[in-house]
């Protein structure tokens, strides 16, 4: 995929976009070469509207963070939490770091390549608009790598396009031993709460 490449060079083409998340107005830097560089994408918007910020979470993961709207908003709304923002795209990580700095939460947003994340870390919540277009096998591998890192009682909040296989993914997750409940559906997207089955 063109927006999952490994370079921090934005070619001097950064732009500013605005997004309103949980009744707060943010100004973010984006650049060509990252997912949804023109602004908050529909799927992420649906995910954020269907879920409010967690009340008591202390360790959060934004999986596939892009330019950081979820990570920044989580850190802003959860002042006691550390947020790991993970992406394969180094430009996305640089933008997330810049946006966290601009929002005053850089001390609690840690930008990481997947291999640099602590495999022993356990997350109260995982938030993700996952890169569905990487293919089914790669997506399954991604989820099976990160979902086991949920802390006891933790939940993953995930948005998937209905036309990109949301319902079949839900069935697959259930088959893998996870409870996967549809929290909401809007604008062609499904929002799931995923937890390990008891």
Measured CA to CA, the distance from residue 177 to residue 59 in angstroms comes to 23
This prediction has a pTM of 0.91
pLDDT given for residue 133 in this prediction: 77
pLDDT given for residue 186 in this prediction: 87
pLDDT given for residue 187 in this prediction: 87
Residue ranges of the chain with per-residue pLDDT less than 70: 1-12, 198
Dihedral sign (CA 124, 158, 140, 3)? negative
Residue whose token pair is 């879920």? 51
**Terminal C-alpha separation, the chain:** 37
pLDDT given for residue 1 in this prediction: 32
For residue range 62-79, what is the model confidence (pLDDT) as tens digits? 999 999 999 999 999 999
pLDDT given for residue 9 in this prediction: 58
State which fold the 15-196 domain adopts.
Rossmann fold (3.40.50)
pLDDT given for residue 198 in this prediction: 64
């Amino acid at each position: 995929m063109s927006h999952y490449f490994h370079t921090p060079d934005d070619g001097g083409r950064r732009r500013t976009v605005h997004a309103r998340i949980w009744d707060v107005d943010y100004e973010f830097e984006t650049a060509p070469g990252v997912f949804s560089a023109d602004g908050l994408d529909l799927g992420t918007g649906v995910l954020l509207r269907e879920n409010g910020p967690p009340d008591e979470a202390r360790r959060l993961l934004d999986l596939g963070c892009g330019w950081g709207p979820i990570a920044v908003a989580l850190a802003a709304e959860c002042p006691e939490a550390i947020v790991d923002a993970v992406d394969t795209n180094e430009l996305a990580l640089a933008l997330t770091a810049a946006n966290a700095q601009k929002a005053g939460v850089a001390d609690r947003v840690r930008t990481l390549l997947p291999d640099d994340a602590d495999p022993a870390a356990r997350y109260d919540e995982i938030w993700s608009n996952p890169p569905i277009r990487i293919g089914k096998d790669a997506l399954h591998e991604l989820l099976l790598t990160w979902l086991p890192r949920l802390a006891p009682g933790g939940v993953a909040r995930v948005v998937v396009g209905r036309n990109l296989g949301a319902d079949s993914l839900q069935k697959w997750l259930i088959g893998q031993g996870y409870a996967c409940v549809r929290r909401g559906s809007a604008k062609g997207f499904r929002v799931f709460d995923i937890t390990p089955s008891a």
